[in-house]
Structure 1
């Protein structure tokens, strides 16, 4: 309905707030209202909304803030709620307040939590008394009239009597006596009072909301188990790849060590000594008569050639090391 005041208020809730989750259509909505803290608002719309103010609770429970009393939002906008108030802007202002001045966790709180969000108080139509810091609802049960009480029109200030009192005063003395003496009749009368019916409606909404949240949480169980398994597989793959990387890095380091300047220099010195020793061995064999002249010349020349090449390279490396030390 385009002109339904309740639907217009709900539409403003979505228009002015980005993250709105429907818990119970037309009754309960959840809003994430902070970028830095995991804070949510649960907006409960009473049966008579928008004539009656919404009840807004904050979760997690146990937060402290000038606008929070017993996990319920209490500020001037809610206290002065009227038919022309804007629900979306009200919730947006609460979120802005919590972003600028985030609530803090109560350290030594004595209140008990209610699941992951506190239960909203039951809205009533009774009188309210406003103090400097909060608004307290006082519900005073009317006294039961007896047969000798005069009619309501004869009482002073009768226009201020609540609907329950008026409903009793409109009954005849015989009906009053029936209510007092007949438990079944009293229960039937009591359960048809508007306030009692509203209370049962709110209780049913809370029960349905909790049931929906439970089903929602349980529906995520399979996905959570699947994600946990995927994370475990990825962790195993990471461990395996890390082990392979460590092994290959070790092999790479060993390969680099074989071609380091100090290793090359050491091997070159060993090669110089080896070539010198071999050439001296060939010369000794020739002197001992073990080699003829042609074989001696050929072998000795090749060995001395290798020796002088290696010796020249060694000399150049040592000279460069002196000029350009590392």
Structure 2
């Protein structure tokens, strides 16, 4: 996570103390403060941070779904600060502004109709594009006048001819036209007949497209599952090969560790400290041998010729070793690096 993203998240938490961390760095929930008539909050904002946030603006939705408000379009909050989002924008203040708007003018729930003791939730038909745009402009103007924010730049409102050319507006108009062609009796009959309403609902183009998309996803998942199952034998074989290779690695490693210890033991016999110690010990040994020969001569155990021969050999070895030790210590031949 970048420092800019962490700074935006800290701003969200500081400006909105009631924020709930769902997935740190990605998903947060901010309860909407209840009005004076409400005992507790009946909704919350879901802030979804994309992977390249804050280069890309957050996606803010409202929970529960199906709420109506000029700032809500298909459960997505349409705040004027989101289209103009930049790295200098402040996520905490933006969410705080949305919560303030929804507290002053809470989103309305779906209308419900009770038929035969069964409560049926009905989604009101979408407003025409021109009426929805006019309602949004009126709400934003009232918000500016009530709160004293001063003049705030509003996004340009496309004309009916331009908006009707977009795919979303075209689909919405088709659905509205399909409902507007029905008489009041036909609408009442749809609301009272669950089966008839479901049949009419399934004839809408958006519903058909959604079901076709779901079918494509289902078929794709089915094909992917079959593809994965077809590789099960290959995966089991590879897993067995990996286990054999791991066992061989453990055996080779144990043999290598053993040989490495033997090598270190062999090298230790020729280390500087070992050689110097052995040289000193041999020097002391030669001196002791020559002294023992002299003592044997004094005790009468050796004649003159034997004493001279043995004593001279032992002292010769002694002086050679003493010379080597002196040379080694003088030239630092046995200094460990």
Same fold (TM over 0.5): no
Bigger relative CO (Cα 8 Å, ≥ 6 apart): 1
Smaller-chain TM-score bracket: 0.3 to 0.5
TM-score, with length taken from structure 2: 0.39
